């Protein structure tokens, strides 16, 4: 079965500190892509970062980095120097195969991050 | 990044009426678009895959006669909730992907059926 698991329903972090949001996945496929999205209270899904299964280096986008451990099937999101505006719901998602836009994403249950001043 | 636009952002309708939601890819062509539904405090669940020029593919448990999908052009997919009932109240959000590894979402539509 192909599944995405986020085990942290909620996380707290102090402003300016780093935080790691966990994500594990289960698949027998060799080709897949891993995504992280931020969903503020407005509901929009903001794309943060992408990691391909064959990418040898961990993806980074500004304050976001993805700690990709293929053997462990984990794709944790690291947010450095947290800001109050980072408070939101965060979803890990996966897309199987190399068909790009022709495949839907499967989402984890999400982690609610609250940044405290 | 690529832009996906969804309208309306919110809608309130009476039970028994139909509601149409539009999803547009603004700067790329999308032969495939996806419709998801999100209930409060839950994750996004795929409802259906919209294919330009052909029938949509629905996930198990999603009534195709209730959730009509039309993908008439390479930049527009519509989801029509027919004979809406209060249990259809939810957050509906579409997604599309330009060539490459990314995937973008519309702003979402909050549907309330009264």
CB contact under 8 A, A52 and B101: yes
Closest residue to A50, CB basis, from B44, B99, B101: B101
**Cα angle, residue A11 at apex, residues A4 and A91 outer, rounded to 5°:** 30
Adjacent-strand bridge partners of A96: A32
Residue of A nearest to B103 (CA): A101
The C-alpha of A22 sits at a distance from chain B's nearest C-alpha, in angstroms, of: 16
Q: Cis (ω within 30 of 0) for the bond into B8?
A: yes
Confidence category of residue A29, pLDDT binned at 50, 70, 90: confident
Residue A32 has pLDDT above 70, yes or no: yes
- DSSP letter, residue A72: T
Three-class DSSP category at B85: coil
CB contact under 8 A, B97 and A100: yes
* Residue A85: predicted pLDDT: 97
Residue A21 has pLDDT above 70, yes or no: yes
Q: Are A65 and A73 in contact (CB under 8 A)?
A: no
Residue B42 has pLDDT above 90, yes or no: yes
Of the candidates A61, A58, A56, A52, the one whose C-alpha atom is nearest the C-alpha of residue A96 is A52
Task: Identify all chain B residues contacting A107, using CB atoms and an 8 Å cutoff.
Answer: 43-45
Percentage of chain B beyond pLDDT 70 is 98
The C-alpha of B17 sits at a distance from chain A's nearest C-alpha, in angstroms, of: 24
Q: Are B92 and B20 in contact (CB under 8 A)?
A: no
The C-alpha of A100 sits at a distance from chain B's nearest C-alpha, in angstroms, of: 6
* Residue B98: predicted pLDDT: 83
Residues of B within an 8 Å Cβ radius of A: 1, 30-32, 34, 38, 42-46, 49, 91, 93, 95-105, 107-108, 110
Q: Is A6 exposed, middle or buried (0-12, 13-18, 19+ CB in 10 A)?
A: buried
Adjacent-strand bridge partners of A20: A78
Alpha carbon distance, N-terminus to C-terminus of chain A: 41
Three-class DSSP category at B95: strand
* Residue A99: predicted pLDDT: 61
For the segment B31-38, the average pLDDT, to the nearest whole number, is 95
* Residue B72: predicted pLDDT: 84
Confidence category of residue B2, pLDDT binned at 50, 70, 90: low
Rg (Cα) of chain B, in Å, rounded?
A: 13
A40-51: pLDDT as tens digits: 999 999 999 999
B66-87: pLDDT as tens digits: 999 999 899 999 999 999 999 9
Closest residue to A100, CB basis, from B38, B101, B104: B101
- Residue A16 backbone class (left: φ over 0; alpha: ψ -120 to 50; beta: rest): left
């Amino acid at each position: 079965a192909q599944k995405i698991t986020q085990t942290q329903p909620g996380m707290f972090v102090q402003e300016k500190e780093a935080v790691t949001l966990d994500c594990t996945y289960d698949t027998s496929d060799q080709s897949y892509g891993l995504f992280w999205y931020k969903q503020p209270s407005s509901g929009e899904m903001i794309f943060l970062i992408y990691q391909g299964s064959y990418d040898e280096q961990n993806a980074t986008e500004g304050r976001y980095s993805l700690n990709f451990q293929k053997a462990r099937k984990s794709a944790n999101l690291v947010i450095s120097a947290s800001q109050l505006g980072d408070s939101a719901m965060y979803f890990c998602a996966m897309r199987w195969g190399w068909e790009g836009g022709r495949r839907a994403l499967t989402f984890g249950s999400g982690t609610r991050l609250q940044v405290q001043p | 990044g690529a832009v996906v636009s969804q309208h309306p952002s919110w809608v309130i309708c009476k039970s028994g009426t139909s509601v149409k939601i539009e999803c547009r890819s603004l700067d790329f062509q999308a032969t495939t678009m996806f419709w998801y539904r999100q209930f409060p405090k839950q994750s996004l669940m795929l409802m259906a895959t919209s294919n330009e020029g052909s029938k949509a593919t629905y996930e198990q448990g999603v009534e195709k006669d209730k959730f009509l999908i039309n993908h008439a052009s390479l930049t527009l997919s519509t989801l029509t909730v027919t004979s809406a009932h209060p249990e259809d109240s939810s957050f509906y959000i579409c997604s599309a992907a330009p060539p490459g590894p990314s995937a973008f979402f519309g702003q979402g539509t909050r549907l309330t059926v009264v």
